[in-house]
Amino acid sequence: MIASPDRTPLPRTFFERPVLEVAPDLLGRLLVRTTPDGPIVVRVTEVEAYDGPNDPGSHAFRGRTARNAVMFGPPGHVYVYFTYGMWHCMNLVCGPEGEASAVLLRAGEIVEGAELARKRRLSARNDKELAKGPARLATALGVDRALDGTDACTAEDTPLRVLTGTPVPSDQVNNGPRTGVSGAGAVHPWRFWISNDPTVSPYRAHVARRRSS
């Protein structure tokens, strides 16, 4: 990996701020996944904010459980969950410890290690689709529950870290309703993405599953 100023780790104070401040500020930052085969580096292009136990759309809404325990821990750590029986999604914990706010990383542009990402994302028809969606992003990086609780905010060579990258000016940041969120949580325009970026995932409204028999 090339050393340069934008490759310095984000300080933990970055994540200690309110989640609605952190979320748009994460756009343009770099996610580094260290694997035995080499690093994969992703530029974050789309995120969603989840505002602790007061947010009906958040996994923390019904309090602390074994699954979401990391959300209630210190900021700058990674919360990984398994959903729909086959996918993983990853978040970065924000706000003061115990607040249980987090930012869902929804999409990104692979800027380094694309060959490694392609091997994990065989269904992708082009490189823009490698990390276009939260489960695709986790798949491309080889992230699963084994990484739940990882400190992404350290200079040490942990398997997953966030680097400074290049923040995106606010006039290039768009926001709108969160994808796939149902009920009262759907009203908040807490999805943020880089305007006109081809790696941003399409919006999908929540669809209730039909009852089986």
Partner DNA sequence: GGACTGATCATCT
Partner DNA sequence: GATGATCAGTCCG
Could you tell me the smallest distance in angstroms from the CB atom of residue 130 to DNA? 10
To DNA, the closest distance from the beta carbon of 65 in angstroms equals 3
Q: Which is nearer to DNA, 11 or 198 (CB)?
A: 198
Among 21, 3, 13, CA closest to 190: 21
**Main-chain dihedrals φ then ψ at residue 67, nearest 5 degrees:** -65, -50
Least CB distance from residue 115 to DNA, whole Å? 17
Please, what sign has the CA dihedral across residues 159, 156, 106, 5? negative
Chain centroid, CA 61 distance in Å? 19
Q: Which is nearer to DNA, 31 or 89 (CB)?
A: 89
Of 115, 151, 93, 136, give the one whose Cα is nearest residue 41: 115
- Neighbour count for residue 167 (Cβ, 10 Å): 14
Q: Which is nearer to DNA, 3 or 86 (CB)?
A: 86
- Shortest Å distance, C-beta 175 to DNA: 16
Pairwise CA distance, residues 164 & 171, whole Å:
19
Q: How far is the CB of 154 from DNA (least distance, A)?
A: 22
The span from the CA of 98 to the CA of 95, in Å, is 8
Q: Which residues bind DNA (CB under 7 A)?
A: 48, 50, 57-60, 62, 65-68, 71, 79, 82-87, 89, 91, 102, 104, 121, 123-124, 129, 133-137, 145, 178-182, 201-202, 204, 206-212
- C-alpha to C-alpha distance for 45 and 171, rounded to whole angstroms: 14
Closer CB to DNA, 32 or 135, in the complex: 135
Token pair of 48 as six digits: 């969603």
Q: 117 φ, ψ to 5°?
A: -65, -40
**36 vs 202, beta carbon nearer DNA:** 202
In the complex, least distance from residue 210 CB atom to DNA, rounded to whole angstroms: 7
Nearest to 81 by CA among 90, 69, 93: 90
